[in-house]
Amino acid sequence: MSWKCGIIGLPNAGKSTIFNALTAAGAETAIYPFSTINPNLGVVPVPDARLQTLGSLLKPEKLTPTTIEFVDVAGLIAGASKGEGLGNQFLGHIRDVDLLVHVVRCFASAQCPHPLGSLNPVRDVGIVDTELLLADLEILGRQKVKLEKKVRMGEKAGAAALAVLIKVEEGLNKGIWARNLGLSAPELEHLQQTPLLTLKPCLFVANLSEEEFNGGKHYQALQELAAARRAPLVPILGDLEAELQELPADEQREFLAGLGLAESGIHRLIQESYRLLGLVTFYTIVGPEVRAWTVPAGTSLPQAAGRIHSDMEKGFIRAEVMNFADLQIHGSQAKVKEAGRLHVEGRDYHVQDGEILLIRFSR
């Protein structure tokens, strides 16, 4: 299983520029709307200092990071939920992503004019939000018609599901995203067949000029909006980040230091996306390879084994578990074991972030 982050926003917000910086995939960038007609998909390694440390300690022949996918879709415009622009085609492209990455323009450019004629990040966010809400209301309306028919036929389960749809519909009509309605686990179960965009986690990316990065009013307005919503906000100097990816690692660090940054905005975006999805990383050391793997928090050991190979989940027996910090301190698996820091766990154990697993299974 892979996790997808959908990059959304108005046309000319810089989505494809940021996608290029993320993936170095060379997605088309242009100064006219809808240059991204077909979605671009990029598989991005997750920056992981622990994996690099394991590489230095263990000297494997191969060091394999875990990955996350980013999808760059066409710009959304007012009226998309009614078919304007690429309309439902755009909305269909983001139905199956796990996280929405909303790129918001905070830069002025005569060469790349804003499609609405002026720079206003708060207005732009409102336009995109409105279209997502309207698209979800349309889906809910269709689902309600189906459920009302079942209720009239006496189906009790249909009545419970209908009540949830009505609750969500009322919230959306007030501008409240479905994920912010405090829905219970049973209520969410009733929404499994209804792919709501407003149920997805969402973070903002401020695509900035250097002037805005250093205290511009548009960036400040977006910061205030994100804080009010308690939504993560990652600042990125899109054009500079794209140039940064072409530099050697040492020059990248010098470049960032000159801006007063410890790491690139792209790295922060990947890490924040990973965190918001509720994912954890575990590691395996097998032969010449040290590898990082991704699972949702709360994953059991057999399920984690299945992430590696389905046969390992079916034949799972137990796992020897050690923490990254212990291996870093003691230097080898044997010394971790001597120190009493290696523990054996069974089926009911949940994998913790940063653990190194040696899985035993029957073939």
Q: What is the pLDDT of residues 237-266, one digit of tens each?
A: 887 887 787 788 788 888 888 777 778 888
Average pLDDT on 293-309 reads: 95
Could you tell me if residue 292 is inside a domain? no
Average pLDDT on 225-235 reads: 94
Residue in this structure with the two tokens 């996280």, named with its chain if needed: 99
In this structure, are 105 and 140 located in the same domain? no
In this structure, are 97 and 219 located in the same domain? yes
Please give, one letter per residue, the 3-state secondary structure of 207-238. EECHHHHCCCHHHHHHHHHHHHHCCCEEEECH
What range defines the domain where residue 13 resides? 4-47+66-117+200-275
% of the chain at pLDDT higher than 90 = 54
Average pLDDT on 315-334 reads: 94
pLDDT, residue 249, reads 76
Average pLDDT on 144-162 reads: 84
- Sheet with 62-64: strands ordered across: 62-64, 289-296, 279-286, 355-361, 316-323, 343-345
In this structure, are 90 and 226 located in the same domain? yes
Instruction: Report residue 276 as tokens.
Output: 């918001």
- For 31, 60, 208, the CA distances from 225, given in Å and listed in that order, are 27, 46, 16
Judged against a pLDDT cut of 80, whether residue 206 lies above it is answered with yes
What CATH number should be reported for the domain holding residue 327?
3.10.20.30
Question: Residues 251, 262: contact at Cβ < 8 Å?
Answer: no
Please give, one letter per residue, the 3-state secondary structure of 37-67. CCCEEEEEECCCHHHHHHHHHHCCCEEECCE
Could you tell me if residue 164 is inside a domain? yes
pTM over 0.75: yes
pLDDT, residue 89, reads 52
pLDDT, residue 17, reads 87
pLDDT, residue 33, reads 45
Overall residue count recorded for the chain in this entry: 363
Query: pLDDT confidence of 223, banded at 50, 70, 90?
Result: very high
pLDDT, residue 41, reads 83
The radius of gyration computed from the CA coordinates of the chain, to the nearest angstrom, equals 23
Cα(24)–Cα(46) distance, integer angstroms: 14
- CA-based nearest residue to 293, from 214, 213, 355: 355
Residue in this structure with the two tokens 């390694």, named with its chain if needed: 45
pLDDT, residue 345, reads 96
- Number of domain units in the chain: 3
